[in-house]
Chain A
Amino acid sequence: MELTFYIAAAVATIATILTITRYNIIHALLYLVVSFLAVAVVFFTLGAPFMAALEIIIYAGAIVVLIIFVIMMLNLTHEDVDKEKAWLTPRVWVGPAILSLVLLAELAYIILAPDTQPTEALVAVDARVVGMSLYGPYMLGVQLCGILLMAGIVGAYHLGRQKKKVVHRFLQPKEGRSAAI
């Protein structure tokens, strides 16, 4: 079990590193799927099998597929890959990497600090208990999630609709500048 966890963690980390270094979006997405699958395994080792299934179905399945659909709608070409290459110079990495490492160091410091709470043996929290909890004390949260999804649907429909380009008249670019924007 422990070995499984460490292998899955290594896979997840490597796959994520590969995801964020790709120039081609489709490649990046494929590595992302691998990363999600690895995280699903981690969930499994942590005793949350139902969550592992959800991770695969929704993250690796629905969300990635959705992004791929959109990418297909955008007609991306080699030019975009080249552009991505041009944008991702090593210099760009320095600042964000330092910031993130500092943050990571602080998190690690907090996580690795001596823990007074004794850890109990691994007991799987099965989906039944989760369901009872969801429809018990978290009823309000579930309803709010419903509203959020509703808003997501309406928002996506409204924003995604192809309509005449409406820019406020004051913001309308002048003829000469339109190329720049």
Chain B
Amino acid sequence: MTPAHMEAALLLAGVLFMLGLISVLIRRNIIFMLISVEIMLNAAGLAFIVAGSKWVQPDGQVMFIFILTMAAAEVSVGLALILQIYHQLKTLDSDAANLMKG
């Protein structure tokens, strides 16, 4: 594997992260926001894998597994929250959930 390849992989992780970030920032639909967060998490996992393979260490992959676990837990809780919001507010608009505004 060449250094260029490695840097390209890291850049890919950065690009994917940016795309997820843009999506989080522009979307009002709360399910889309959750999906975008998944994209960002995946990008972070990719960066770990790249780092792990660069130094030929298992730790990067271990971290990816942890991220995977976290993503799974996060999605399950997040979706439950979305269901609650939808039942309470009858909408998926995240701006409507603003009872805590200052």
Contact = CB atoms under 8 A, between A and B. Distances in A.
Direct chain A–B contact by Cβ atoms under 8 Å: yes
Interface of A: 1-2, 5-6, 9, 12-13, 16-17, 19-20, 25, 28-29, 32, 35-36, 39, 42-43, 46-48, 50-51, 54-55, 58-59, 62-63, 66-67, 70-71, 73-74, 80, 84, 87-88, 92-93, 95-97, 99-101, 103-104, 107-108, 111-112, 115, 117, 119-123, 125, 129-130, 132-134, 138, 141, 145, 148-149, 151-153, 155-160, 162, 165, 167, 171, 181
A74 to B, nearest CB: 6
Contact of A63 (B11, B60, B72, B92): B72
B49 to A, nearest CB: 5
A9 B12 contact: yes
Interface of B: 1-3, 5-12, 14-23, 25-29, 31-32, 34-36, 38-39, 42, 45-46, 49-50, 52-62, 64-66, 68-77, 79-84, 86-89, 92, 96, 99
B36 A20 contact: yes
29 contacts: A9-B9, A13-B16, A16-B16, A16-B39, A20-B26, A25-B29, A32-B35, A42-B12, A46-B1, A46-B49, A47-B53, A48-B60, A55-B68, A66-B79, A84-B29, A84-B32, A103-B21, A111-B11, A119-B2, A120-B54, A121-B1, A130-B65, A145-B65, A148-B69, A155-B77, A160-B79, A160-B83, A162-B87, A181-B89
